[in-house]
Structure 1
Amino acid sequence: ESFLDTLDEACRRAGWIVHAYALMGNHYHLLLETPEGNLVEGMKWFQGTYTQRVNTWMKRRGHLFQGRYKAQVVNGEQRNEGYFQTVSEYIHLNPARARMTGKGKEWERLQDYPWSSLGLYLGRKAKRPSWLEVDKVLESYSFKDHTAGRESYGKFMDARGEEVQGGKGGMGYDELRRGWCLGDGEFRQKMLDLAEKALEGKKRESHSGGLIKEHGEGEFLRLLEEGMAKLDLSEERLRDLKKSAPEKKALAAWLTSQTLVGTELVAQRLGMGHRSAVSQAKRWAKESKEGQKWMQKLG
């Protein structure tokens, strides 16, 4: 209740609209719309206030959350509503993935889990908080916000929950878990352009962490394409190369020198195995004649 009460206050203060949420044992998920563009300020207040309240209740001190929250931009336009639907489904399925619902569990059906917005979706409109908007998600499934539509959505989500519990139907979320933006190419480029515009003329230390991360990963993808073109590499050719191929080592060293992304992402995208391979590639590029020659090709 403290979580929802604090979320209610945050939404009223920041003008947020919530489309889905799930509170789990050690984390939470929110599908938020921020009409006033104040995610950073709002999250600072929300997490800080919630931490204070939990600490007071539990008579403890210190941080409640480990590190900064992760934020992703989601394309919610009507013609691309599938992205929005994917995120809402991912959030509502959290209890099923955590094996907290199902036969023999405290909550047999997914919709019985009390700390997600799914139950509010399926209940009476009068019982919903003013900040919870259900129409966009329901319409993405072609359901209406009336008794029959809500029942159909509930049955669909319960069935999805059973699929996930049975080890099926839980795939397809890799981009959501790892990416900085969920949308088509046009939308991603639009977001990157907006991020670059926001970064112009500002010192790096004045940027919000989220904006730096989004800009860095977007720039990484752009530079990866550029670097592959300079080395005359196709996606297929890149995949076929050995982990220790000079082309991969040169790309890894060049990309880490040009962007803000971590070595783990570089190693994963280039198929180099462990991130330590990227650190070794950086030393190879700097200290060996072979490495320096390859770096000259990248400019």
Structure 2
Amino acid sequence: MPIMNGLLNKGTLGATFLMAAAMLSGFRTVNGKMRLHGITTATDKTVITYNADKSIAKLVSTHKTSDESYVVARIPVYENGHLVKTLFTDDEVSDAPMLFSTFTYSSKGQVEKISYYQENVVNAYDSLVYNNTGKIIARYFFSKQAGKNGFESHNCQLYTWDAQGNISSMENMGRLNDKAEFVLSSSTSYKYDSKPNAQQNTPVLSYMIDIAPANLSANNIVSETITATAGSAIVNNYAYAYNASQYPVKVTATYGGKETVATELEWAE
């Protein structure tokens, strides 16, 4: 589904997940609004707990396979109301938390760089570019290259926004080395409903997991068309069930008109 396609598991610890559309000069949920507490699929369950001031305290995901079940916890660290780093552990109880990411802010209070760590050493980072209205229009991925010093960007994503505050398209760009021009590898176009995207009530959650159009946009994605440069296209559709407060409590995703996956969301004050 577009909201949670990347629950914390050992295969995706190196990636981020979810980003809010708002400019993030602070990371507190708005008083009186519902907050996301649980995300459940057939194989994964994520539980989100909060501090007394309604900031996120911890995000714990349990992933089950046919062979095993394991837990990954993500813990945010704040300074003066700003998210400055996240910690993670593969064992909710016994393992000492390790540094996962740190955040660098611009003079405008926008996150401009997210650094990712392995054994307390930066091994990759994202560089974010904003337009003059404070919306993210590009995300550049930097990583270390074998046999080279420093970091290089061989991949990036470019976002186009519509008048409703939604990302209408995303372009995935790539290149073989840092001297070459970026070329288009695939593009995705999006269609939305008219209901508010409730995930923006908890903007810090997006920085803890991944940057995705589904979480940057004002409304909820109902379909996405992914087109490769070769011309082939895949269409994914999303159907929502809402509670009385108009928060989505179930999302049914149909991928390529075939595979169907249901995700349940739990909300509370």
TM-score by length of 2: 0.24
| Greater relative contact order (CA < 8 Å, ≥ 6 in sequence) | 2
More strand by proportion, 1 or 2? Answer: 2
More helix by proportion, 1 or 2? Answer: 1
TM-score by length of 1: 0.22
Max radius of gyration: which structure? Answer: 1
